[in-house]
Amino acid sequence: MNDKNELVLKGYGWMLKSFSQVNKGEVIDYLIKNHKSMPRISFRYAIEKMDKESHLYLMEL
């Protein structure tokens, strides 16, 4: 999560995005818990494919 390499941060977000397709609730809980310390790019990748309601809710955090 705290890597300096942008590609690692994108990969971290991509992994969360992929996992959210299987277990959305767990990823949402993780994002709520860690949104203050997560890099913005990872957070945006993670919520990219979520439904509109979840996406808007998480963007308001």
Q: What is the pLDDT of residues 9-47, one digit of tens each?
A: 999 999 999 999 999 999 999 999 999 999 999 999 999
Residue-level pLDDT at 23: 96
> Number of folded domains in the chain?
1
Question: Which amino acid is residue 58, in one-letter code?
Answer: L
The mean per-residue pLDDT over the stretch 46-61 comes to 96
pLDDT at 8: 97
Distance from C-alpha of 5 to C-alpha of 48, rounded to nearest angstrom: 20
| pTM of structure | 0.93
- Note whether residue 13 is domain-resident: yes
Split at pLDDT 50, 70, 90, the class of 60 is very high
Q: Is 15 part of a structural domain of the chain?
A: yes
Domain carrying residue 29: 6-59
Q: Using alpha carbons, list the distances in angstroms from residue 43 to 9, 31, 51, 53.
A: 9, 7, 15, 16
Amino acid, res. 29 = D
In a domain, 1, yes or no: no
Instruction: Report the phi/psi class of residue 36: left, alpha or beta, with left for phi > 0 and alpha for psi in -120 to 50.
Output: alpha
